[in-house]
DNA sequence: TCTAAAAATGAGTATATAGGAATATACTCA
DNA sequence: TGAGTATATTCCTATATACTCATTTTTAGA
């Protein structure tokens, strides 16, 4: 962690931003259990075709997703199994953290004092 | 991972974006081993005072950092020890992934064929 | 109280990013 | 080849984000 060059740091940042978008997180979640066609991803994310297509392009350019064509369909999948792990870890940790904060806030709202 | 509400998903995304900025990653890295004053953080990140101050505000509002005042100085530290873990995991994984990709690219450039 | 240091904030600008609508491209099948 | 489907891309707009410079706020100490 100490010896990351500016360039690497910027790559890491870019990577985090690539995952830091709700629709892209939905896409990653949808692809968690295996590959899907664009149409299937559109159906699951409830986003427009154009929008999904762009997000898929971004994720692919970042090396997060990989695609293969079959007929008129394009199948996307998570490129690197490690990604799934990172994604799960981060999402679970953050979601848990947020959950805790929310309950803390709720307690404060309820007038609980320390 | 499956049952994240849209709201939670958006929080997670925000969180990832909060970390997805080079200067903020530098700040997190600088605070890895303990608290520092703003001046010290400025010195280590090589960014301007105003810029660092704003990034510190963002990270604090996201609950990633916590601060305390002492005299004219403000000390910042990583608020949640879990953050350090997440940060380390993500950075190490991604940096490693990038390292691998770079060497792959280098091999391609060198004309290595499969 | 005046001054200096530390940090935060405001104004303004430039760039990045996301989104939609329309269009282009690629492929399949009759 | 022509129609239809799946996906990608282009153009445009709106919003978000990061940055700098200048100013303000807070505190310590002469």
CATH at residue B63: 1.10.10.10
| DSSP state for residue B21 in the 8-state scheme | S
Cβ of B8 and A86 within 8 Å?
A: no
Count of domains forming chain A: 1
Q: Is the pLDDT of residue A84 over 90?
A: no
Q: Which of A1, A11, A19 sits opposite B16 (nearest CB)?
A: A19
Residues in B 77-106 with any Cβ partner in A closer than 8 A: 80, 82, 85-95, 97-98, 101
In a domain, A114, yes or no: no
What is the structure's pLDDT at A65?
96
In a domain, B36, yes or no: yes
Domain region containing A20: 6-109
To probe the interface with B, which of A2, A7, A10, A20 has the most B CB atoms within 10 Å?
A20
Name the closest nucleotide to B60, judged by C1' and CA.
C8
What is the structure's pLDDT at B109?
56
| DSSP state for residue A46 in the 8-state scheme | T
In a domain, B93, yes or no: yes
> How high is the mean pLDDT of chain A?
87
Q: What is the mean pLDDT of residues A48-55?
A: 98
What is the structure's pLDDT at B21?
97
Q: Is the pLDDT of residue B113 over 60?
A: no
Q: Which of B11, B19, B29 sits opposite A16 (nearest CB)?
A: B19
Looking up tokens 């990709």, which residue turns up?
B101
Q: Is the pLDDT of residue A86 over 80?
A: no
Q: Give the C-alpha separation, A47 to A22, whole Å.
A: 11
Residues B29-55: tens digit of each pLDDT: 999 999 999 999 999 999 999 999 999
Q: Which of A2, A11, A16 sits opposite B16 (nearest CB)?
A: A16
What is the structure's pLDDT at B91?
77
What is the structure's pLDDT at A22?
97
Q: Which of A52-61, A75-84, B45-54, B97-106 has the lowest mean pLDDT?
A: B97-106
What is the structure's pLDDT at A8?
87
Q: What is the mean pLDDT of residues A60-88?
A: 91
In a domain, B63, yes or no: yes
Q: Is the pLDDT of residue A111 over 70?
A: no
Q: Is the pLDDT of residue A103 over 80?
A: no
In a domain, B1, yes or no: no
In a domain, A1, yes or no: no
Q: What is the mean pLDDT of residues B86-103?
A: 77
Kindly report the nearest CA distance between residue B26 and chain A, in angstroms: 8
Which residues are within 8 A (CB) of A62 and not within 5 positions of it... i.e. 6 or more apart? A14, A15, A18
Q: Is residue B27 classed exposed, middle or buried when 0-12, 13-18 and 19+ CB atoms within 10 A define those classes? A: buried
Name the closest nucleotide to B40, judged by C1' and CA.
C6
Cβ of B19 and A19 within 8 Å?
A: no
In a domain, B60, yes or no: yes
Strand D nucleotides, any atom under 7 Å to a protein CB: 4-10, 17-22, 26-28
> How high is the mean pLDDT of chain B?
87
Looking up tokens 């904060």, which residue turns up?
A101
CB B63 within 8 A of CB B11: no
Cβ of B20 and A17 within 8 Å?
A: yes
Nearest residue of B to residue A84, measured between CA atoms: B1
Q: Is the pLDDT of residue A108 over 70?
A: no
Which residues are within 8 A (CB) of B90 and not within 5 positions of it... i.e. 6 or more apart? A12, A16, A86, A89, A90, B19
Residues B6-37: tens digit of each pLDDT: 888 899 999 999 999 999 999 999 999 999 99
In a domain, B76, yes or no: yes
């Amino acid at each position: 962690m100490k010896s990351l060059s500016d360039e690497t740091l910027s790559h890491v940042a870019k990577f985090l931003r690539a995952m830091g978008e709700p629709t892209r997180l939905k896409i990653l979640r949808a692809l968690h259990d295996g590959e899907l066609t664009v149409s299937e991803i559109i159906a699951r994310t409830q986003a427009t075709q154009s929008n999904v297509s762009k997000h898929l392009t971004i994720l692919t350019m970042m090396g997060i997703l990989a695609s293969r064509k079959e007929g008129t369909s394009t199948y996307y999948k998570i490129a690197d199994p490690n990604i799934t792990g990172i994604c799960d870890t981060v999402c679970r940790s953050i979601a848990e953290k947020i959950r805790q904060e929310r309950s803390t806030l709720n307690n404060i709202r309820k007038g609980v004092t320390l």
